[in-house]
């Protein structure tokens, strides 16, 4: 039982990293990004080939690298690669495209990268994917499975705490206010001298780096990764966590992710299995999540924990007083 609980909480903490990545683009800058899980997948793949063993071509197993480097090198490599890909994709897509056209571009990019990775066997072993990925410090600590699971949960929590601290620092910084200004009104932000393109591109790269970090954690947790773990439904669940928790809210994202990715996911496993339909459980799960999104958007569109608004009473202009009475002259 303890292994199940620890494993579920670890997975939920990793999903929080994914959601914080999307919250930067959607929650703070208003970009409808549908490529967030592409960066998660790239982070998982990069971490796997940097930290994992070499492939065995004699057995038909092929992937690049296989360097067996320490886990922190794999984390750094995943963040650098996803950041560069985010810079390339965002640099092109954000230059001219807005709103729906930007979202379409991210979808096309995701499908293209997915097709290349799945079909080109020498890259990441195609549909079979990479396996045998070592977990952080597992060989060094040599702990029993239960104790190592607790250690890995603590390790993921430390990374998540760092991510949350960075999110708080960005949110309350002048740059965070610029991002939210761009989200509210691009033209007004540009009129006040903000470089809208630069703000959006920087936010997109930050989101890509955070998503890549989450993907590396996922690869380390699963010890394997393939294209079947990379589907459209994952992006839907990340958006659901943001909508339910509170778009733009750091605490709301945390609450929404554990509600959607942990509570709902695990509770729906108890649903009655429909005979002859192996995918009924997944379909019902997405239906329930969809109904939750509709309910939240209808009754509480700001989410369970709304984004805090900046208030500065010290600089607020005083309320106008009554007009002075006219002076009577005799």
User: Model confidence over 66-119: pLDDT tens digits?
Assistant: 889 999 999 999 999 999 999 999 998 888 767 778 888 898 999 898 889 888
The residue among 27 and 66 whose pLDDT is bigger is 27
Report yes or no on whether pTM surpasses 0.85: yes
| pLDDT at 162 exceeding the cut of 90 | yes
Contact (CB, 8 A) for 242 and 253? yes
Judge residue 192's burial from the number of C-beta atoms within 10 Å of its C-beta, 0-12 exposed, 13-18 middle, 19 or more buried: exposed
Token pair, residue 110, equals 């995701």
Chain centroid to CA 70: 24
CA 232/CA 106 separation, integer angstroms? 12
| Residue 267: per-residue pLDDT | 75
| pLDDT at 206 exceeding the cut of 80 | yes
pLDDT band for position 274 (50/70/90)? low
Whole-number percent of the chain with pLDDT over 90: 34
- For the chain, the distance separating the N- and C-terminal CA atoms, rounded to the nearest angstrom, is 94
| Residue 26: per-residue pLDDT | 92
Q: Which of 62-66, 213-217, 296-300, 318-322 has the lowest mean pLDDT?
A: 318-322
| pLDDT at 319 exceeding the cut of 60 | no
The residue among 282 and 157 whose pLDDT is bigger is 157
Contact (CB, 8 A) for 155 and 217? no
| Residue 326: per-residue pLDDT | 45
| pLDDT at 328 exceeding the cut of 60 | no
126: left (phi over 0), alpha (psi -120 to 50) or beta: left
What are the beta bridge partners of residue 225? Answer: 130
| Residue 330: per-residue pLDDT | 43
Token pair, residue 264, equals 């709902």
Contact (CB, 8 A) for 289 and 277? no
| Residue 324: per-residue pLDDT | 47
Chain centroid to CA 318: 42
| pLDDT at 315 exceeding the cut of 70 | no
pLDDT band for position 280 (50/70/90)? low
CA 125/CA 117 separation, integer angstroms? 8
pLDDT digits (tens, 9 = 90+) for 209-227: 999 999 999 999 998 888 8
Q: What is the mean pLDDT of residues 45-64?
A: 86
| pLDDT at 320 exceeding the cut of 60 | no
Across the chain, mean pLDDT equals 85
pLDDT band for position 271 (50/70/90)? low
Q: What is the mean pLDDT of residues 280-295?
A: 81
**CA max distance for the chain:** 112
| Residue 310: per-residue pLDDT | 63
| pLDDT at 170 exceeding the cut of 90 | yes
């Amino acid at each position: 039982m303890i292994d199940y609980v620890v494993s579920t909480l670890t997975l939920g903490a990793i999903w929080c990293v994914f959601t914080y990545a999307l919250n930067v683009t959607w929650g703070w800058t208003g970009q409808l990004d549908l490529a967030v899980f592409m960066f998660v997948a790239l982070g998982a793949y990069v971490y796997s080939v940097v930290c994992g063993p070499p492939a065995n071509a004699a057995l038909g197993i092929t992937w690049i690298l296989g360097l067996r480097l320490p886990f922190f090198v794999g984390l750094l490599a995943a963040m650098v690669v996803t950041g560069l890909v985010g810079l390339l994709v965002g640099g092109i897509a954000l230059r001219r495209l807005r709103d729906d056209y930007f979202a379409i571009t991210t979808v096309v990019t995701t499908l293209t990268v997915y097709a290349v990775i799945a079909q080109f066997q020498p890259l990441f072993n195609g549909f079979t994917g990479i396996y045998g990925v070592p977990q952080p410090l597992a060989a060094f600590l040599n702990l029993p499975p239960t104790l190592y699971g607790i250690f890995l949960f603590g390790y993921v929590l430390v990374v998540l705490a760092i991510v949350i601290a960075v999110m708080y620092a960005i949110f309350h910084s002048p740059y965070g206010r610029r991002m939210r200004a761009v989200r509210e009104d691009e033209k007004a932000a540009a009129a006040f001298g903000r470089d809208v393109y630069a703000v959006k591109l920087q936010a997109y790269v930050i989101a890509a780096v955070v998503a890549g970090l989450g993907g590396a954690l996922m690869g380390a947790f699963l010890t394997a990764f393939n294209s079947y773990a990379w589907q459209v439904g994952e992006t839907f669940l990340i958006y659901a966590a943001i909508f339910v928790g509170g778009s733009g809210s750091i605490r709301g994202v945390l609450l929404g992710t554990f509600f959607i990715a942990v509570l709902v996911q695990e509770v729906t496993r108890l649903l009655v299995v429909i005979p002859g339909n192996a995918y009924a459980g997944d379909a019902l799960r997405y239906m329930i999540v969809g109904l939750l999104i509709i309910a939240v958007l209808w009754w509480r569109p700001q989410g369970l924990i709304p984004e805090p608004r900046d208030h500065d009473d010290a600089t607020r202009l005083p309320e106008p007083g009554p007009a002075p009475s006219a002076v009577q002259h005799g």
